[in-house]
Amino acid sequence: MPNENVIRDKLAKSLTLLEPGLTLIETNHPLPNKAGSKGFVDILARDRRGKTVVIELKRSDQAAREAMHEILKYMRLFMEHHGAEAHEIRCFVVSTTWRELLIPFSEFRRRCEAQTEGFEIVVDSKGRVMRAKRVTDHALDQASLFYHHGVIGFMTSAERKKAKPLILDSLSQKGAAGHLLFHLDYEGKSKAVIYPFATYIVPTKIEPKVVKSLQKEALKDLAEAEIEQQRYREQLLLARVIRSVLPRIRELNYDVEIGYPEKFTQMVERDWSVKSLERSGPFADKKVTPEATLIDLVKGIGGMNVFRFERLTSPSQKLDWAQARAASAHCLEGNHVWTAGYNWFLDRIETTYPEGDVLARIYNPQMLPETIYRIVSERELAYMPAINLTVSQDGVDKEALIGGVTWDEKTIPKSHQDVFARIKDGVSGYYFALFLHDAAHFDSILMKRHGLSYSLWRATFDDNGGEVTSRIVISRDGKVRERKATPKPAMLPDFLIATPDYVVDLMNEIEQHVGRQLEVREHASEDGAG
Q: What is the pLDDT of residues 196-235, one digit of tens each?
A: 999 999 999 888 888 888 877 777 765 554 556 677 888 8
Q: Where is 42: in which H helix or E strand?
A: strand 39-46
Please tell me the number of Cα atoms within 13 Å of 208 on its side-chain side: 5
- Give me the pLDDT at residue 49, please: 84
Per-residue pLDDT, averaged over 283-299, amounts to: 90
Q: Could you report the per-residue pLDDT of 431-486, keeping only the tens digit for each?
A: 888 877 788 899 999 999 999 999 999 999 887 767 788 999 988 888 899 998 87
Q: Look over the chain and give the mean of its residue pLDDT values, rounded to a whole number.
A: 86
What strands, in cross-sheet order, belong to the sheet with 396-407?
A: 308-313, 357-363, 386-393, 396-407, 452-461, 467-474, 480-484
Asked if the model's pLDDT at residue 43 lies above 90, the reply is: yes
Q: CA–CA separation, 480 vs 231, rounded Å?
A: 36
- CA distance linking residue 10 with residue 42, whole number of Å: 12
Find the helix or strand (DSSP H, E) in which 502 lies.
helix 500-510
Q: How large is the angle between the packed helices 516-523 and 426-435, nearest 10 degrees? A: 20
How much is the pLDDT for 377?
A: 85
138: left (phi over 0), alpha (psi -120 to 50) or beta: beta
Helices assigned H by DSSP within 353-491: 368-378, 416-419, 426-435, 443-449
d(CA 200, CA 164): 11
At residue 455, what is the residue type? S
- The residues that bridge with 152 in the sheet, in sequence order, are 199, 256
Distance separating alpha carbons of residues 292 and 289, to the nearest angstrom: 8
d(CA 62, CA 114) in angstroms, rounded, equals 23
Residue type present at position 314: S
φ and ψ of 397, to 5 deg: -65, 135
Position 138 scores a pLDDT of 58
Q: Which H or E element spans position 181?
A: strand 176-186
Rounded (10°) angle between helices 208-221 and 226-245 = 110
The whole-number pLDDT of residue 211 equals 82
Separation CA 211–CA 208 (nearest Å): 5
Cα distances (Å, whole numbers) of residue 67 to 108, 335, 419, 427: 11, 47, 66, 64
Q: Are strands 272-280 and 308-313 parallel, antiparallel or unpaired?
A: unpaired
Candidate from 94-103, 170-179, 316-325, 440-449 with smallest mean pLDDT: 94-103
Give me the helices (H) in 13-139, please.
64-82, 102-111
